[in-house]
């Protein structure tokens, strides 16, 4: 037989209203009374009815955790941290997949049907209109991985993606690369454009360094591989900053399938430092994004907003110990970008015949370059 609130009251020797208060956050009840009720409930195997309680408190403790990045392995870590963090604070995460959603108003209506107390939009690729839609309906919302701004329309927690792009460019230039390129995610994503802006802006300070860019259809392995295969049909850049580790791994696959080596022929730098990036057969040089700090800050901000729903929108830029490139980023040195690139002609030996440059018979390459060891 399932224990009821009345059974707990009888076992604890208190009134049913006292039991109800003991299980209601913020209710007036002494610590001694709460322990007494919790002990009786434990002995009877009683669990509070959250749905019934929500009718009284008008709070469901449900927090919508919405994203469109379920195909990206880094979000396995993100969702794990979010669900643990919310549950540790007595909140209940409701995971919602918006991968094929294009209408912000439909998403708002769907979450309203569940009577959520708040929403965390965990995405850098969903248009800002999604987070704004929840705000406009009076639902507390945090846009995790959203676009950093000094005066945001909604609460934002993430990184300054322009700074991330600048870090990548500085790293490549310091290692001797001269022909650089940015391989980003969807062109419509604010994270993509901000990373490109920071990357190109830093390169513009160096007259002897060139910059190109291209975009993958999505932040996926397949999209990164497809775009790199396309780029390899003509003379590729010396090094690529891929706007995400999963894009980088797709690019690595395409490069190796074309008979080229990394970093011998092409250098790669990624972003995120996902677990897969450190695997022995990948060992990606990447920029670490402070995922745990971003998630923890998002959860704390949501908790604060539940107590103060009209709190003025804030932008929280995640930070780590300051390094050579400032706060929020750390470069994880793998083997996909050389420590220092010697200044000499590129090696063409592994390029397919249709992409080989004209014969060097009439334009001899110095012997020191022809026979130099591969980078």
List pLDDT tens digits, range 78-115.
999 999 999 999 899 999 999 888 888 999 999 999 89
- With cut-offs at 50, 70 and 90, classify the pLDDT of residue 331: low
Q: Which residues pair with 181 in a beta bridge?
A: 212, 240
The pLDDT confidence band at residue 363, using thresholds 50, 70 and 90, is very low
Q: Beta-strand (E) ranges in the chain?
A: 62-67, 92-97, 118-122, 141-144, 155-158, 179-184, 210-215, 239-242, 267-272, 286-288, 315-317, 330-332
The Cα 66–Cα 93 span in angstroms is 10
What are the pLDDT digits (tens) for 156-201?
999 989 999 999 999 999 999 999 999 999 998 999 999 999 999 9
Percent of the chain residues past pLDDT 90, beyond the cut:
49
Q: Is residue 227 predicted with pLDDT exceeding 50?
A: yes
Q: Is the separation of the CB atoms in 246 and 263 below 8 Å?
A: no
Quote the pTM value: 0.74
Q: Mean pLDDT across the stretch 58-85?
A: 90
Position 238 confidence tier, pLDDT thresholds 50, 70, 90: very high
The neighbour count for residue 218, using CB atoms within 10 Å, is: 22
**d(Cα 322, Cα 75) in Å, to the nearest integer?**
25
Indicate the length of the chain as a whole number. 375
CA 101, CA 79: separation in Å to the nearest integer? 19
pLDDT (tens digit, 9 = 90+) per residue, 303-321? 999 988 888 888 887 753 3
Q: Report whether pLDDT(348) > 50.
A: no
What is the rounded CA–CA span in Å between residue 266 and residue 239? 5
pLDDT average, residue stretch 333-359? 49
Separation in Å, CA 221 to CA 80, 246, 314, 331, 375: 21, 5, 33, 22, 26
Integer CA distances (angstroms), 88 to 28, 93, 214, in order: 22, 11, 42
Q: Is 145 exposed, middle or buried (0-12, 13-18, 19+ CB in 10 A)?
A: buried
**Which 8-state DSSP code applies to residue 363?**
S
Please determine, for residue 351, whether its predicted confidence score (pLDDT) is greater than 60: no
Span 5-40, pLDDT tens digits: 788 889 889 888 787 777 766 567 788 888 888 888
Chain centre distance of CA 196: 16
Instruction: Return d(Cα 117, Cα 140) in angstroms, integer.
Output: 7
Domains recognised in the chain with CATH numbers:
5-56 (1.10.260.40), 62-160+291-317 (3.40.50.2300), 161-289+326-370 (3.40.50.2300)
Pairing mode, strands 315-317 and 267-272: unpaired
pLDDT of residue 237: 96
Beta carbons within 8 Å of 221's beta carbon, 6+ residues apart: 246, 247, 249, 250, 253
At 300 the pLDDT is 95
Helix pair angle (221-231, 245-257), 10° resolution: 50
Mean pLDDT of 225-229: 97
64: which strand partners? Answer: 94, 119
Measured distance CA(245)–CA(251) in Å, rounded: 10
Position 337 scores a pLDDT of 67
Q: What is the pLDDT of residue 195?
A: 95
**Is residue 267 predicted with pLDDT exceeding 90?**
yes
How far CA 237 is from CA of 183, 193, 225, 249, 284, in Å, comes to: 11, 20, 16, 17, 18
């Amino acid at each position: 037989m399932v224990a009821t609130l009345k059974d707990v009251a009888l076992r604890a020797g208190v009134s049913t209203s006292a039991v109800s208060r003991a299980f209601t956050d913020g209710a007036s009840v002494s610590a001694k009374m709460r322990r007494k009720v919790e002990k009786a409930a434990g002995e009877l195997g009683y669990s509070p009815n959250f749905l019934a309680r929500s009718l009284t408190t008008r709070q469901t403790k449900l927090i919508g955790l919405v994203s469109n990045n379920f195909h990206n392995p880094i979000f396995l870590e993100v969702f794990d941290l979010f669900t643990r963090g919310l549950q540790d604070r007595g909140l209940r995460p409701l995971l919602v997949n918006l991968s094929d959603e294009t209408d912000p108003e439909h998403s708002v209506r769907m979450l309203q049907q569940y009577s959520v107390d708040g929403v965390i939009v965990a995405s850098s690729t969903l248009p800002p209109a999604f987070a704004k839609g929840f705000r406009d309906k009076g639902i507390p919302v945090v846009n995790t991985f959203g676009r950093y701004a000094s005066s945001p329309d909604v609460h934002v927690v993430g990184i300054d993606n322009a700074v991330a792009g600048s870090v990548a460019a500085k790293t490549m230039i310091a290692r001797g690369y001269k022909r650089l390129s940015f391989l980003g995610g969807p062109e419509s994503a604010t994270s993509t454009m901000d990373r490109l802006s920071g990357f190109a802006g830093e390169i513009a300070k160096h007259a002897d360094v060139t910059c190109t860019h291209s975009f993958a259809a999505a932040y996926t392995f397949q999209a990164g591989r497809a775009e790199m295969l396309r780029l390899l049909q003509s003379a590729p850049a010396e090094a690529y900053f891929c706007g995400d580790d999963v894009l980088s791994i797709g690019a690595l696959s395409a490069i190796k399938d074309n008979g080229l080596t990394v970093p011998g022929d092409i250098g790669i730098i990624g972003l995120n430092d996902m677990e897969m990036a450190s695997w022995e057969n990948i060992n990606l040089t990447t920029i670490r994004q402070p995922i745990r700090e971003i998630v923890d800050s998002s959860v704390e901000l949501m908790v604060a907003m539940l107590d103060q729903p009209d709190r003025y929108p804030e932008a929280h830029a995640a930070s780590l110990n300051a390094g050579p490139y400032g706060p929020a980023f750390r470069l994880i040195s793998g083997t996909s970008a050389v420590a220092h690139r010697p200044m000499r002609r590129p090696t063409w030996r592994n390029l397919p015949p249709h992409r080989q440059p004209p014969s060097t018979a009439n334009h001899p390459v110095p012997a020191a370059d022809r026979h130099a060891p591969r980078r």
